Structure 1
């Protein structure tokens, strides 16, 4: 290898240490030859032949440049679900992307931080400019020196676009947009010595509802979604009447290019007792922030710092904030935020400062703010409705 000889002349005995350092940076996944190539680029002694590493090559030609570096402009055919791994104590992520141009098709393998680019920005038929890729065994691999960007006006690339379908018409491998109706809790499982995650969603469009079971990294992505958010699933799998976001599925959170009906925010006047709905309201007055203490056995409510009730039952503390809000029509209603929603409202992080102190500091700032929320309408003892906030979508 020409680079190795040149590097030995330039670096002497320090070359082996640099090779080890470079391999560690790639979590042990970089071969000796690959490390030498990267060091050669660092030291300015790389042998690139007739093409420079940042010259855009036809995909077929780039794939033939084994143990070299290449840059391509390609269209995305399919993004596969990323995998997390732990190799000798080093954790990482890898994602395979099927790509093509007019010269043929191939595989783009994205590692670690480049996986975030795939999960957040890529979808079927995206156009990607990828520079400084390492060519290995007929595949293009990202590395510390690669750069990835989206291109908006490509010329001469194949069209991999696929029409999305409604949930009622979903078949194996199809793509769809849907809105999250409800979200379960992400659970960890172990299979054949490997750990993974699974999370169930109920998704809907105007044709109906379906259960969507999300696995692995797709479960992690789905866990960032809130009820009411829109997702896109590419390459869905079917099993026992359920939709599965499997290793072949690319899940896109907060998808934009959809034609789903806009989320409906109901006015206070149209709410019925025990109805859960999305509402938009302005906080007129924040009354108080309190911590209630209730016995889990007898249901008694009491003050003080006792850890046990007189009946011997355990005590549960609940933090809540009471407010008065009005909707766009000017109708007023009492609104209560409990626990996670109360903490989110005042931006309470892990701190030694009491919630009541934070509430006092934030009260004036929050009064007058408009929030979009999911809330449950409950009937109070006097017959009037109050809203119990289940989710804060946004505030301004």
Structure 2
């Protein structure tokens, strides 16, 4: 930030507020942004709030990375070489997120530090060799830092002089330390939260597969949180995977891109209902009839069903209540193939949009029935045999509707 800009904004503020009030306002801004703002940046926000509108002196044309100087606000067009997993933190009771991205042009390589929403951009949009335009980045300690005024965008027509960081993805069976690969999520474990050295940590296990085979991928911390929002069948790109005794891990230096494109994986295959056997399968069905929505009350000791009017089981065992929906599912590609479908728990509640309400679940079910019947769903289901020998489907994960 240029000295004349700082001087002009300070002069503006001195004419508007007292020195003591100014200091309190600056401290207030720094506290609001979890202590991440320098005094100059906080003062700039205060000045903006008070009506100071002078524009920053920003380079109108992209600058070369080798020519950057600390304190400058710059525009740069770069290639992405490496994306580290975002790190979440808490400071003064406020949560934040930061991600380090190694970028380069034809003159140098620099670390791009992305804060808050800009770290979200890195998680959702960036991958190795992407061309990135960043406007109004602050040069600090030789690094580029995003800030409240920075703007990130992907460049569709990158300059030819930029370096090429492309690295071909390998088959999953050949994935080793530092490799990139595409894979489809086959099964997703439970997100486990734990504490280490006073910090909150997360871990989640995936089973992933491509045409070459199937492997376990252990995802840590922010990577675990990201994949927890995905569903079985989704495609991910894993950049710079870690390997520990043959086990693949997504650690702090691994970048996971959700809903990855430009891959050569086979499309998700749906099993026809007419060919359904016991086990897990992906199916595409039409909900042709919705039968009922109710709560099952089952004794956890003896397994008996307990009527609604009874408070306890005769064996005095504790009860487990589960909300579920029963329906008729028709194969989306073969209207003659139909199976009974059961949807339990949160999936059933999500299907109805059921939240805490005074209206009974059956009433909401009756209201939603005309809307849901006839709709097409993609889901992962467990096919199991009933006592009469017929196959029924239990929804494990509804992918889309």
TM range (shorter): over 0.9
Q: Is 1:11–2:17 an aligned residue pair?
A: no
Task: Report the secondary structure of 2:95's partner residue.
Answer: strand
Matches of 1:257 and 1:354, distance apart in 2: 46
Q: 1:293 to 1:77 in 2, by over 3 A?
A: same
Matches of 1:158 and 1:324, distance apart in 2: 56
Give the aligned partner of residue 356 of structure 1: 362
Q: Is 1:20–2:31 an aligned residue pair?
A: no
**1:104-135 Cα shifts (integer Å, max 9, x gaps):** 11011000111110100011111111111111
Give the aligned partner of residue 191 of structure 1: 196
Q: 1:337 to 1:233 in 2, by over 3 A?
A: same
Matches of 2:196 and 2:210, distance apart in 1: 33
Matches of 1:351 and 1:68, distance apart in 2: 55
Q: 1:284 to 1:5 in 2, by over 3 A?
A: closer
Q: TM-score, normalised by structure 2?
A: 0.92
Q: TM-score, normalised by structure 1?
A: 0.93
Matches of 2:290 and 2:65, distance apart in 1: 61
The runs of 5 or more residues in structure 1 that have no matched partner are none
Q: Give the C-alpha shift of residue 28 in structure 1.
A: 0.6
Choose which of 250, 265, 269 in structure 2 pairs with 1:264: 269
Task: Check conservation: 1:37, 1:46, Cα contact below 8 A.
Answer: no
Q: Give the C-alpha shift of residue 209 in structure 1.
A: 1.2
**1:246-271 Cα shifts (integer Å, max 9, x gaps):** 11000111111111111110111111
Choose which of 310, 313, 316 in structure 1 pairs with 2:320: 316
Give the aligned partner of residue 71 of structure 2: 67
Give the aligned partner of residue 43 of structure 1: 52
What aligned pairs does 1:1-396 form with structure 2 within 5 A after superposition?
Answer: 1-12=3-14, 13=19, 14-36=21-43, 43-44=52-53, 48=57, 52-62=58-68, 64=69, 66-155=70-159, 156-272=161-277, 274-327=278-331, 328-330=333-335, 331-395=337-401
Matches of 2:25 and 2:55, distance apart in 1: 15
Task: Check conservation: 2:306, 2:312, Cα contact below 8 A.
Answer: no
**1:148-184 Cα shifts (integer Å, max 9, x gaps):** 1111111121111110001111111110001111111
Q: Give the C-alpha shift of residue 47 in structure 1.
A: 6.9
Q: Give the C-alpha shift of residue 26 in structure 1.
A: 3.0
Matches of 2:324 and 2:42, distance apart in 1: 56
Count of residue pairs brought into register by the alignment: 389
Matches of 1:9 and 1:264, distance apart in 2: 67
Q: 1:72 to 1:350 in 2, by over 3 A?
A: farther
Q: Give the C-alpha shift of residue 136 in structure 1.
A: 0.8
The runs of 5 or more residues in structure 2 that have no matched partner are none
**1:353-380 Cα shifts (integer Å, max 9, x gaps):** 2221111111011111111111112222
Task: Check conservation: 1:377, 1:388, Cα contact below 8 A.
Answer: yes
Q: Give the C-alpha shift of residue 75 in structure 1.
A: 0.9
Task: Check conservation: 2:280, 2:383, Cα contact below 8 A.
Answer: yes
Matches of 1:387 and 1:28, distance apart in 2: 53
Q: CA RMSD in A?
A: 1.8
Query: Quick check: 343-352 or 218-227, which moved more?
Result: 343-352
Task: Check conservation: 2:78, 2:103, Cα contact below 8 A.
Answer: yes
Matches of 2:304 and 2:219, distance apart in 1: 41
